[in-house]
Amino acid sequence: MSLEARSYAMAPLIRFTLISLYLALVLPLPVLAKAQLQQALLLALPLGLVLVLATTSEQVQLDASGIRVAHAPWCAWLWRRGWELPWSGVTGLTPVATSQGGRVYYVRSQQGAYLLPQRVAHFADFLSRFQAATGIDTTSIGRISPAWTYQLLALLCGLMLAGETAAAWALATGRWDFPPGLGG
């Protein structure tokens, strides 16, 4: 089989949304914490960001020999999870309903079942190459959740970050002050 090698990263909208959600939820914590916790939280914040970046760095690689799911080289040592199958080892796809009403698919093989990546960029191209390599019909497979859910979450994260930025500015310029016993 002559399948051109191709790598698929996580879709940018999904990656941006997950990183934004982390920042929106965690950035205010050091400011709001009691004084004895602030330094620990300031140290933990970049570590958490690195972990979120590593988690969202998963890549799917397709080539003539098979499919491989792994994290970017800079963080692969940390997660060590992933999987690889030759095309000849893929025996089918098993759909499984999620509790949120979506559907995920497992790639079946003699070695076990592996979650089919559904959050990759250029998903339609990924599926057509997967189908061409395996002969398994993928026309009914869609993303795990519709794009509007990530768009809405990205908008809400942006609003949260804007509100936090406005609050930080108001605090820094003396236009607003913390209630007694909180932060500062």
Other beta carbons within 10 Å of 179? 7
Looking at the predicted structure, is the pLDDT value of residue 90 above 80? yes
Confidence at 184, pLDDT banded by 50, 70, 90: low
d(CA 117, CA 151): 20
The chain-wide mean pLDDT, for the chain, equals 91
Confidence at 2, pLDDT banded by 50, 70, 90: low
Q: Pick from 109, 129, 149, 98: which is nearest to 7 by CA?
A: 129
Domain ranges of the chain: 6-172
pLDDT of residue 75: 87
Q: What is the pLDDT of residues 136-174, one digit of tens each?
A: 999 999 988 888 999 999 999 999 999 999 998 998 888
Which residues are CB-neighbours of 31 under 8 A, at least 6 positions away? 38, 168, 171, 183, 184
Q: Which helix (H) or strand (E) holds 6?
A: strand 6-9
Q: Pick from 108, 106, 85, 109: which is nearest to 97 by CA?
A: 106
E-strand spans in 13-53? none
Question: What's the predicted TM-score (pTM) here?
Answer: 0.84
Looking at the predicted structure, is the pLDDT value of residue 87 above 90? yes
Q: What is the pLDDT of residues 18-37, one digit of tens each?
A: 999 999 999 999 988 888 99
Q: What is the pLDDT of residues 48-81, one digit of tens each?
A: 999 999 999 999 999 999 999 998 888 888 877 7
